[in-house]
Amino acid sequence: MSSNSENRESWNTRLGFIFAAIGSAVGLGNIWRFPYMTAESGGASFVLLYLFLLFLIGIPVMIAEFVIGRKTRRSPVKALASAGRYDWSPLGFLFVATGFIILSYYSVIAGWTLQYMVDSAGGIITDYDPGTYFDAISTGKRSIFYHTLFMVITTCIVLAGVKRGIENSVKFLIPTLVLLLAGLGFWAFFQPGSGEGYSFYLKPDLSTLFSSSFPYVNVQILADAAGQTFFTLSLGMGAMITYASYLSRDEDLVEETLIISLSNVCIAFLAGLIVFPIIAAFNLQGEIGQSTISTLFIAIPKAFQSIGGAWGSFLSFAFFGCLFLAALTSGISLLEVVTSTLIDQFDISRITASTTSGALIFILGIPAALNLGWLSLADQIAGNLLLMVGGFLLTLYVGWTMYEAGRELRKGLNIPVVGLWIALIRYIIPVVMFCLVLLAFWDISYGMLSDALPK
Ligand code: TRP
């Protein structure tokens, strides 16, 4: 494969591209990260804040990534080297490094979902105390084994290429995921006592967002909501640049962004409609807030356990199957960024590029498979901070140095929003993002400090 944009691979159909981008966006971020962040940060008010940031920042930044990708038809490093007045390839390398780190721990969590699936099918999940089970499987040899398995599956799909591997698999995986989630949401609705869960999830309590002393807003919630917006939409590390670089026709990028981001919100919302009613119906409120990463992996199996029997095992299998499918389509996009960069930079074959990057990421993930502290640190740094830094620099690039970004967006556009988009990308989002990056930085270093100090 050559780095020449003329013989670059491309999507077969528009729907294939849209499904692949939804697949990238919908992942553990929707089903695992979103509900626990919502639970930690006061329920519905967090959801509102997240929606606000989605429209203010998420959608315009996604459009920006699509514009770069389609205009240059190159992977992020080459794209950022060539599309503007200055060579911004270092930003492309930051993207690749971020993707590298994210996939390394993402794959470990995805490996847990595989273990839960396998053990649900064998009836094991409903036999053990979920806390003990989680402690036993989340780190150590088993965790490494399933991390390996996940990386192997992901690499095989990426290796098969854009059309044959990615497009064909997401076309089947996404509809399956939506059907499974809808089925589980329907089931959760009929559980006695689920009502309280809906009210926590859907009734905002704005007081959690503000505080009476400086800086008057709850910094952690704001930083988390911003980080979540980037993480869940797969922004800030070039995944959407890469996917858009395989577009061969000029379609309406704004329409596509709206379809992708709103589908992503709907699926996260649906995940909340499963998780919160279950928590309320099975009295698992005590589980929330004890730990962050493990909430879903410990609380939800408790519900399936109290149902018990074949039905409990089946529901557990379906739930973790959803998580696995969602994680797979996201893992594919993370690996594709690294793979396509290697192909473009070194002019090597897709097979060499994907297996090399898969193997390196696998190795980098081993510490996360052995230690949960490492995993959550990597998530805070790469999954929160680096994505926001990447997003901030990307808006500066597109707003201030890229050639003809507006003209590229105008191609195929039915909704006349170019002026609005440019104003947002140039003036508003960089300022907001700069503050958010500082907040995230403060939040992380403050968190580390308070962990280090004796209580
Ligand atoms: N968006 C995915 C999720 O919500 C994760 C993901 C895939 C991602 N590709 C990404 C996050 C690129 C950041 C950047 O689980």
Each residue's pLDDT tens digit, 54-101 = 999 999 999 999 999 999 999 999 999 999 999 999 999 999 999 999
Token pair in block for residue 103? 């996939």
Confidence at residue 1, expressed as pLDDT on a 0 to 100 scale: 40
Ligand 1 proximity of 24 Cβ (cutoff 6 Å): yes
Whole-angstrom CA distances from 395 to 107, 178, 235, 254, 297 are 29, 32, 11, 17, 36
Confidence at residue 288, expressed as pLDDT on a 0 to 100 scale: 61
**Residue nearest atom 14 of ligand 1, based on CA coordinates:** 234
Q: What is the 3-state secondary structure (H, E, C) of 348-362?
A: CCHHHHHHHHHHHHH
Confidence at residue 79, expressed as pLDDT on a 0 to 100 scale: 96
Confidence at residue 365, expressed as pLDDT on a 0 to 100 scale: 98
pLDDT tops 70 at residue 412: yes
Longest CA pairwise span in the chain (Å): 64
The tally of CA atoms less than 13 A away on the side-chain side of residue 98 is: 29
**Residue nearest atom 6 of ligand 1, based on CA coordinates:** 234
SS3 123: coil
Predicted confidence (pLDDT) per residue in 348-394, tens digit: 999 999 999 999 999 999 999 999 999 989 998 999 899 999 999 99
Distance 127 CA to ligand 1 centre (A): 33
From the list 25, 37, 64, 94, the residue with the least C-alpha distance to 296 is 37
Confidence of residue 2 (pLDDT cuts 50, 70, 90): very low
Distance 232 CA to ligand 1 centre (A): 5
Ligand 1 proximity of 328 Cβ (cutoff 6 Å): no
For the CA of 235, the closest atom of ligand 1 is 14
Count of other CB atoms within 10 angstroms of residue 122: 11
Ligand 1 proximity of 101 Cβ (cutoff 6 Å): no
Ligand 1 proximity of 23 Cβ (cutoff 6 Å): no
Confidence at residue 287, expressed as pLDDT on a 0 to 100 scale: 67
For the CA of 232, the closest atom of ligand 1 is 4
Ligand 1 proximity of 98 Cβ (cutoff 6 Å): no
Asked if residue 295 lies in contact with residue 287, where contact means CB atoms within 8 angstroms, the answer is yes
Distance 294 CA to ligand 1 centre (A): 19
Rounded Cα gap, residues 71 and 213, in angstroms: 47
Ligand 1 proximity of 231 Cβ (cutoff 6 Å): yes
